[in-house]
Amino acid sequence: MEKGDSIAVYHISMESGNELGVKNEFLLAAHNSIDEKAKQLAPQEIRNQLLISQDPRVKTTFHVKVSNRMAPYLINAIEQQNDSGYGIALRSYFYRFQEAIMAQMFASVKDVIG
């Protein structure tokens, strides 16, 4: 996490491995859909505070850089995407993604309070 001007930036890496049984193209499309939805939900001035990228060498790994202001919109987009009928394995993957984001959010609050 980076801090500057009271904006925290969270860095999350998610690796699906082969346990999902999902083609890389579908996983990339799901991440792109979440990115697009989060940016639709967010106010215009913070839409650039989210970056989701696929690792060029390990296609099952995704890197996310999101600000604390944009994170709630990302979490909401993940929830909406999960409600759209994914299989159990993919929903589980995105729940872990949400948990990773929230863990960093709560850790930063603890740092500010403590």
pLDDT tens per residue across span 13-62: 888 766 667 778 888 888 999 999 999 999 999 999 999 999 999 888 89
Which residue, among 22, 41, 54, has the nearest Cα to 81 in the 3D structure?
Answer: 41
What angle is formed at CA 52 by the lines to CA 30 and CA 27, rounded to 5 degrees? 25
Bridge partner residues of 10 (DSSP): 66
Per the structure, the count of domains in the chain is 1
> Which letter does DSSP use for residue 98 in this model?
H
pTM of the model: 0.83
Range of the domain at 96: 2-113
DSSP state of 57: S
Cβ neighbours around 1 below 10 Å, total: 12
